[in-house]
Amino acid sequence: MKRIAVFCGSSKGFNDDYSRQAAEVGAYFARNQIGLVYGGGKIGLMGIIANTMLDNEGEVIGVIPDLLRHEEVAHTKITRMIVTKKMSKRKVKISKLVDGYIALPGGFGTLDEIFEALTLGQLGIERKAIGILNTNNFFNLALRQLDHMVQEGFLKQENRDMIMVSDSIETLIEKMAAYEAPKLSKVVKTVVRK
């Protein structure tokens, strides 16, 4: 995996574990020559990962929509900043740059981005590995909701299993490297072709 998109908060949260693990992700990526593609901010967990990578001479690519560039604090020292016209264009650009996706703790934006990646994988539009770094059990309730969706017949188990979860970046990357996308059902194949 040469580049991975990391979705995470523009806040640090209340627990120092989140910042600590964000720094671990940045150091791990730099050490293993994995490029970071992210939202382009210099604040919160986003800023911690980017700054750690820059301190360790890693590649950092930010992708930010123009409308957020003025509201968010855009990082000015990263390897490359790409500005898009719309939020939807940002997601497409990120998709074209990466080999996989990881979510760290964050808010609505983080969930939006990781669930869009999952939807693309479910439909077979992409076949990239998708991971959740479950720092401090942050995602446990969201993962339980997905299990409930399987139990109630709204999500197939094979699609639920697309999400790799770990509280260790090393273990998560190992799982992602071994990922094999599920085979598409005939119904999904027909929908994707249209």
The DSSP code for 42 is S
Domains of the chain: 3-193 (3.40.50.450)
Q: Is the dihedral of CA 80, 132, 141, 94 positive or negative?
A: positive
Q: Give the CA distances from residue 44 to residues 50, 63, 107, in Å, rounded to whole numbers and listed in that order.
A: 10, 16, 12
Residue 189, CB-side half-sphere exposure with 13 Å CA sphere: 5
Which residue positions in the chain have pLDDT lower than 50?
none
**Which pairing describes strands 35-38 and 3-7: parallel, antiparallel, or unpaired?**
parallel
- The predicted pLDDT at position 51 comes to 97
CA 95 distance to own-chain centroid:
10
- The predicted pLDDT at position 95 comes to 96
What's the CA gap between 193 and 46, in Å, rounded?
A: 36
In DSSP terms, 163 is beta-bridged to: 130
Order of all β-strands in the sheet with 60-65: 80-84, 60-65, 35-38, 3-7, 100-103, 129-133, 163-166
145 φ, ψ (degrees, to nearest 5): -60, -40
Amino acid at 74: A
44 φ, ψ (degrees, to nearest 5): 65, -155
The DSSP code for 27 is H
Residue reference for tokens 């996989």: 100
What are the percentages of helix, strand and coil residues in the chain, rounded to 5?
Answer: 50, 20, 35
What's the CA gap between 58 and 26, in Å, rounded?
A: 8
What pTM, to 2 d.p., does this model score?
Answer: 0.92
